[in-house]
Amino acid sequence: MNGSAPPPPVRPLPARLLDLVLWGGLAVLLLISAPAVHLGDLTLLGAHSDNMRNFIGGFAHPDFSQAGSIVMDMLQTLEMALWGTALAVIFAIPLGLAASRNVAPVWVQQPVRRLLDALRAVPDLVIGTMFVLAVGLGPLAGVLAIALNTGGVLGKLFSEAVEAIDPQPVEGVRAVGAHPLQELVWGVAPQVAPLWTSFGLYRFESNARSATILGLIGAGGIGQRLFESLGAFDYGQTATIILVIVIAVSLIDLLSQTIRTRLL
Amino acid sequence: MRDNVKGIFHRADANLALDRKEHVRSRDLQIRMAESAAFIVTGASRTFGQTKALNDVSLRVERGEMTALIGPSGSGKSTLLRALVGLVALDAGPGRVEALGLLVQTGGKVAPQARAVRARIGFIFQKFNLVGRLTLFSNVMIGRLGRIGFWRGLFGLWSHADRSLAMHALHRVGIAEQAGQRAANLSGGQQQRGAIARALVQQAEIILADEPVASLDPASARRVMEALADINREDGAAVVVTLHQIDIAKHYCRRIVALSAGRIVYDGPPDGLDPERLRSIYGAEYQDAAPAVFGAPVSA
């Protein structure tokens, strides 16, 4: 080789300016938002430490007298999460495909996207309240609320996985004269299967937590019991319930993590 | 070396007898349909942005021919090949493609029966286009989709006959042992032979191959080209193959069609392509395309 080696590549000025604007913008946003969230009240954490100590002290003596039925309630909550997630996956598969640029024409894809946005935007507490009015108090309202909200989330995640696939195998399937639905089954599905399963499991984990919160609106399960004992200032009972939730959620996290690492 | 390669395709065993029966059947079919050409392309143009990838191309390919499409990068040979089965739509206008006597596309619109035509045409891609997470066997079974019922294909309810057809095809291209492995775990040469097996179970009357050896080492490239030549010879399938290297084209094909800037600039036997003519077709790329990268030519 003749002559000296060229200098290392330099990021062009516009790219560096864009970085500055993006990161600087984020910093400015954080500063503007600080008063709105009463960030100054952090000092009260120290001032009110006695109240905190009383509250936490109550948890030091968990009451295990009803541990058996608490665990049964926890199981009911997990069953809600399981059914809610399963129904959500069933919604999300067709919606996710219909929301993908590389599968559906734009006049299908855009409306479906907006529908998914709407499903995600409405909090599941609101959807849950609606279903409580429709099907009455109890776990089914919770299941349906989880299904709709999670359906919106999974539909979006599924469609993003579909948009990231390699188009070449799909073209390979098309080239043998396959029907468009067969292209989806044989060309698209095998490529997205690991990601879809991973997303489904991840949502099951977080739904186990959401299902707890849904107890607040009378959707049954351990959440309802949690809010009842909190309302009754029964901190011993509350401590046991929280312990059961923490153990259950950790076990599910561990389990689904194991499955996901095996899949990918 | 050549004998070894040939051996893969000519194993004397029970499968061969079955294959032969299959050939006889497909030959009968060909005699019945001999009146229609493999392809008739008239006035085909395709524009990408400002570039005319195809510029008023007309071409007729007969059944049973083995034809090479050559030309420098961007000369339109891949576009032409894809347009033959409607994977690329032509510009709106009089351009028209017919395959096996059926309309594939005209006026910039792919005809509804294009799917039925594709079922009878095997397409081999440069990047193999197998589904990496499926087994080699499943990938070959995909070749049956255009030939069996919709629901059967959708759920993968392959019949016993179809399964054994797939195994025979894999055996014929020498990778039956790998049937249970994921396609992504196979070497490039094995994947490309898997793609050929997929075309075999289609019982394709035409094989189109788009730069089938461009991603392969010379030994794998030779096996793939031998497999294509074997299908042309034994099954009587027309083969149209785009190639960048001239010596491969000259060695395997009796007819060479050269494209340059979207126009056909040569159509005839390999002998007519002297260095002068090639230099004018390839321009600056001549040095890359001409050397005997494929080793010394082997006499047929």
Residue A136 touches chain B, beta carbons under 8 Å: no
**Residue B300, pLDDT above cutoff 50:** no
Does A182 lie at the interface with B, CB-CB under 8 angstroms?
yes
CATH topology of domain A68-263: MetI-like fold (1.10.3720)
Beta-carbon separation of B145 and A186 below 8 A: yes
Which residue, among B282, B289, B298, has the nearest Cα to B75 in the 3D structure? B282
Of B125, B127, B153, Cβ closest to residue A178: B153
- Which pLDDT belongs to residue B23? 56
Residue B13 pLDDT more than 70?
no
B102 inside domain: no
Which residue type is seen at A115?
A: L
Question: In whole angstroms, what is the distance from residue A42 CA to residue A56 CA?
Answer: 19
Written as six digits, the tokens of A224 are 């309802």
Q: Which of A246, A260, A188, A251 is nearest to A62 (CA)?
A: A246
* Per-residue pLDDT tens digits for A167-223: 999 999 999 999 999 999 999 999 999 899 989 998 998 898 888 888 888 888 888
pLDDT at position B291, please?
55
Q: What percent of chain B has pLDDT over 70?
A: 85
For residue A236, what pLDDT band results from cuts at 50, 70 and 90? confident
Q: Say if residue B122's pLDDT is above 70.
A: yes
Q: Where residue B209 sits, what CATH number does that domain have?
A: 3.40.50.300
What residues in B contact A194, CB-CB < 8 Å?
133
Report pLDDT digits (tens) over A52-107: 777 777 778 888 888 889 999 999 999 999 999 999 999 999 999 999 999 999 99
Query: Closest Cα partner for B68 from B257, B227, B264, B266?
Result: B257
Mean pLDDT (chain A, rounded): 89
- Nearest residue to B238 via CA among B40, B72, B20, B94: B40
B203, closest residue in chain A (CA to CA): A176
Chain centroid offset of residue A116 CA: 14
pTM, rounded to two decimals: 0.78
What one-character DSSP code corresponds to residue B50?
T
Query: Residue B27 falls within a domain, yes or no?
Result: yes
Q: Is residue B246 part of a domain?
A: yes
Alpha-carbon span B8 to B231, nearest angstrom: 13
Look at residue B47 and tell me if it is in a domain: no
Query: Angle at the Cα of A148 (from A145 to A154), degrees rounded to 5?
Result: 130
pLDDT at B163 over 50: yes
pLDDT band at B12 (very low <50, low <70, confident <90, very high): very low
CA–CA distance, A160 with B12 (Å, rounded to integer): 51
| Phi then psi dihedrals of residue B157, to 5 deg | -90, 75
Confidence of residue B30 (pLDDT cuts 50, 70, 90): low
Does a structural domain hold residue B9?
yes
Per the structure, the complete domain to which residue B242 belongs is given by 2-35+64-83+112-289
Report the pLDDT value the prediction gives residue B293, as an integer from 0 to 100: 44
pLDDT of residue B289: 73
pLDDT in tens, B227-242: 999 999 999 999 999 9
CB-count burial class (<10 Å; 0-12, 13-18, 19+) for B148: middle
**pLDDT for the residue numbered B285:** 78
pLDDT of B9 higher than 50: no
DSSP letter for each residue of A128-190: HHHHHHHH-SSHHHHHHHHHHHHHHHHHHHHHHHHHTS-HHHHHHHHTTT--HHHHIIIIIHH
Question: Which residues contact residue A18 at a Cβ distance below 8 angstroms, ignoring those fewer than 6 apart?
Answer: none
Give the C-alpha distances (Å, rounded to integers) separating A111 from A92, A102, A122. 15, 15, 17
Look at residue A221 in the predicted model and tell me its pLDDT: 85
ipTM of the complex: 0.81
Classify residue B73 by its DSSP letter. T
Give the pLDDT confidence score for residue B35 in this predicted structure: 54
Report whether pLDDT(B203) > 70.
yes
Task: Give the residue from chain B lying closest to A193, CA to CA.
Answer: B133
Asked whether residue B171 is domain-assigned, the answer is yes
What is the structure's pLDDT at A212?
86
Q: Which 8-state DSSP code applies to residue A61? A: S
* Stretch B9-24: mean pLDDT: 47
Q: How far apart are CA A221 and CA B174, in angstroms?
A: 60
Name which of B87, B132, B153 is nearest A169 (Cβ-Cβ).
Answer: B132
A178 with B146: Cβ contact below 8 A: yes
What pLDDT is attached to residue A203? Answer: 92
**pLDDT of the residue at A26:** 95
The alpha-carbon gap from B176 to the nearest alpha carbon of chain A, in Å, equals 20
- The pLDDT confidence band at residue B10, using thresholds 50, 70 and 90, is very low
Residue written as tokens 């609101």? A126
What does the H/E/C string look like for B209-278?
EECCCCCCCHHHHHHHHHHHHHHHHHHCCEEEEEECCHHHHHHHCCEEEEEECCEEEEEECHHHCCHHHH
For chain B, how many structural domains are there in total? Answer: 1
Residue of A176, A187, A193 lying closest to B198 (CB–CB): A176
* Nearest-angstrom CA–CA distance, B215 and B237: 24
Instruction: State pLDDT tens for residues B170-182.
Output: 999 999 999 999 9
pLDDT exceeds 70 at position A45? yes
